[in-house]
Amino acid sequence: MEAIPEFYFLGDPREPPVKLHRLSPSENSIQLSAPLSSIPSQLLLFSAGDWSGISSDSKVEVHLEARNGKQIFLGTLTSESRCFLWENSSSSDFPCILEGRELQVSLLIKGKVCAKMKKTSQESKKRKILKEEEENICPNKGLAKSQIPKQKTKNSKHVPVTKPGIPAKGTGAVSSVPSGRWGHALCPVDNETVILIGGQGTRMQFCKDSMWKLNTENDKWSPVEALADGSTPEARTGHTAVLDPESCRIYVFGGSKNRKWFNDVHILDTQAWRWRSVEALGKVPPLSYHTCSLFRGELFVYGGVFPRPNPEPDGCSDSLYIFDPQHEMWYQPIVLGDKPLARSGHTANLLNRDLYIFGGWDTPVCYNDLYLLDLGLMEFSRIEVNGSSPSPRCWHSAAQISDSSFLIHGGYDGNQALHDTHVFSTVTRTWTALVHKSLPRSPRAGYSMLTLPGVNDESKESMPQELLIFGGGDNEGQFYCDTIRLQISEILDV
DSSP per residue, 95-106: HHHHTTS-EEEE
End-to-end CA distance of the chain: 65
Sign of torsion, CA 19 25 28 31?
A: negative
DSSP state of 122: H
What number of residues does the chain have?
Answer: 494
CA distance 473 to 321: 29
Residue 373: name the closest of 293, 316, 285, 296 by CA: 293
H or E element that contains 261? strand 260-261
Q: Are 84 and 122 in contact (CB under 8 A)?
A: no
Q: How high is the pLDDT of residue 79? A: 78
Q: In sequence order, what DSSP letters do the residues of 301-345 get, joined into one string?
A: EE--EE---TTSPPEE---EEEEETTTTEEE----EESPPPP-BS
Q: Helix H segments across 248-294?
A: none
Half-sphere exposure of 124 (CA within 13 A, CB side): 5
Q: How high is the pLDDT of residue 30? A: 78
43: number of Cβ within 10 Å: 21
Helix (H, G, I), strand (E, B) or coil at 74: strand
Cα angle: 62, vertex 65, 68; to 5 degrees: 150
Half-sphere exposure of 282 (CA within 13 A, CB side): 19
CA distance 378 to 353: 10
Residue 61: name the closest of 43, 48, 74 by CA: 74
Q: Helix H segments across 6-51?
A: none
Q: How high is the pLDDT of residue 438? A: 84
Strands 379-382 and 336-337: parallel
Residue 241: name the closest of 216, 211, 221, 209 by CA: 211
Residue 165: name the closest of 487, 491, 477 by CA: 477
Residue 163: name the closest of 482, 470, 478 by CA: 478
Q: How high is the pLDDT of residue 317? A: 94
Per-residue pLDDT of the chain (494 residues; tens, 9 = 90+): 456 788 888 887 777 788 887 765 554 567 778 788 777 888 888 888 778 777 777 788 888 887 667 788 888 888 777 888 888 765 444 555 555 557 888 888 877 665 443 343 444 444 443 333 333 333 333 333 223 333 333 333 222 223 333 333 333 333 489 999 999 999 999 989 999 999 999 888 898 888 999 999 999 999 988 888 877 889 999 999 999 999 999 999 999 998 889 999 999 999 999 999 999 999 999 999 999 999 999 999 999 999 876 545 678 999 999 999 999 999 999 999 999 999 999 999 999 999 999 999 998 899 999 999 999 999 999 999 998 999 999 999 999 999 999 999 999 999 999 999 999 999 999 999 998 888 888 999 999 999 987 544 444 445 678 999 999 999 888 999 999 999 998 888 74
The one-letter amino acid at 480: Y
Q: How high is the pLDDT of residue 125? A: 43
Q: Are 479 and 442 in contact (CB under 8 A)?
A: no
Q: How high is the pLDDT of residue 26? A: 54
Please report, for residues 24, 238, 291, the alpha-carbon distance to residue 165 in angstroms, rounded to integers and kept in the order given.
65, 21, 26
Half-sphere exposure of 298 (CA within 13 A, CB side): 22
Strand partners for 261: 256
Strand partners for 408: 398, 422
CA distance 33 to 359: 46
Strands 274-278 and 227-229: parallel
H or E element that contains 121? helix 121-132
Q: Are 252 and 233 in contact (CB under 8 A)?
A: yes
Strands 329-331 and 336-337: unpaired
Sign of torsion, CA 128 129 133 138?
A: positive
Instruction: State CA 411 to chain mean position distance.
Output: 20
Q: How high is the pLDDT of residue 186? A: 96
Which residue ranges form the domains of the chain, and what is each CATH number? 6-110 (no CATH), 132-491 (2.120.10.80)
With a threshold of 0.85, does the pTM exceed it? no
Most distant pair of Cα atoms in the chain: their distance: 78
Q: Are 46 and 129 in contact (CB under 8 A)?
A: no
Q: Are 431 and 389 in contact (CB under 8 A)?
A: yes
